[in-house]
Amino acid sequence: MNRSATPSWYVISLRPRGEHDVLRRAAARYGAGLIALSPWKLVLKDGPATHADLRAALAAAVVVFTSPTAVHAARALQPFAPRPGQHWCAVGAGTAAALHDAGVGVGVGTVHAPTRMDSDGLLALPVLQDVRGREVGLVTAPGGRGEIAPALEARGARILRADVYGRELIPLDAAAVHQVQAADVPLALALSSGEALQRVLDAIPAGAAAKLRNAHVVAASERLCVLARSLGFGDVSAASGPRPDDLLAAAARRHPVA
């Protein structure tokens, strides 16, 4: 592995503030540095309305979680009490692991997670095909994965939505913006959120935006590949999935570990 003080390439992370460590460790395994370019921070919700929405969502026969953060935030608000025959759905392996850690699927309740870890994979789960006339709890946050609720409603489900955390916009870190613009080594953009990318492009200065668009985009899905190309990125490829190791393995194919 390349252990030189100066990385030979950098990964740009658009994850929320304070959520970069897993991607940073994955980058380090491939000899890369990380530039943290957060467009927002996560804020847990509380209050009577949130508690009531969550109680209703968790009482549904089918409960859908859209991220590990949704699991952690919901669990902080109230304990989980899965029932026999209840189905808990996770958008991917990380969300499923968070549910298992919370005791769901350990004797009571069944956790379903797709092999394809995105909204399309979630919506293809067998348990979500015949939901006409059924209540489906959706534990999530405003923005992101916006296609899940409309798709399930189109199948006849009644959605019981609980927004248990939110995304608060923050100014882009000036040092990170300068690092992007001044970089004289290859850049790879780890893309797992289209909304985050759009927010960054709205906020970043023109010179840095031009440099960013020259980065190699490694996207978590084909849908994100299409979005990146529509936003002016020319060098775009798909990773095998959204996990940090998936994204870094795809990016590192151009940057062999020394």
Q: Where are the beta strands (DSSP E) in the chain?
A: 10-13, 33-36, 40-44, 62-65, 87-90, 110-112, 135-140, 158-163, 165-169, 187-191, 216-219, 236-238
Instruction: Calculate the dihedral angle through the C-alpha atoms of 146, 152, 156, 161, rounding to the nearest 10 degrees.
Output: -60
The whole-model pTM stands at 0.81
Measured at the CA of 72, the angle between CA 201 and CA 96, to 5 degrees, comes to 90
pLDDT classification of 166: cutoffs 50, 70, 90: very high
pLDDT classification of 1: cutoffs 50, 70, 90: very low
Q: What is the pLDDT of residues 10-31, one digit of tens each?
A: 999 999 999 999 999 999 999 9
d(CA 243, CA 219): 11
* Cβ-proximal residues to 49 (8 Å cutoff; 6+ apart), any chain: none
Angle of helix 244-252 versus helix 21-29 axis, rounded to 10: 30
pLDDT classification of 115: cutoffs 50, 70, 90: confident
Name all domains of the chain by residue range, CATH numbers in brackets.
51-166 (3.40.50.10090)
Query: What does the buried/exposed string (b/e) look like for 112-149 if buried means 16 or more CB atoms within 10 Å of the residue's CB?
Result: bbbebbbbebbbebeebeebeeebbbbbbbeebbeebb
Instruction: Write down the pLDDT at residue 160.
Output: 97
Q: What is the pLDDT of residues 173-184, one digit of tens each?
A: 999 999 999 999
Instruction: Write down the pLDDT at residue 241.
Output: 81
Report which of 191, 186, 187 is spatially closest to residue 238, judged by C-alpha positions: 191
Q: What is the pLDDT of residues 20-63, one digit of tens each?
A: 999 999 999 999 999 999 999 999 999 999 999 999 999 999 99
Asked if pLDDT for residue 108 goes beyond 80, the answer is no
Asked if pLDDT for residue 2 goes beyond 50, the answer is no
Instruction: Write down the pLDDT at residue 117.
Output: 74
Q: What is the pLDDT of residues 132-143, one digit of tens each?
A: 999 999 999 987
pLDDT classification of 92: cutoffs 50, 70, 90: confident
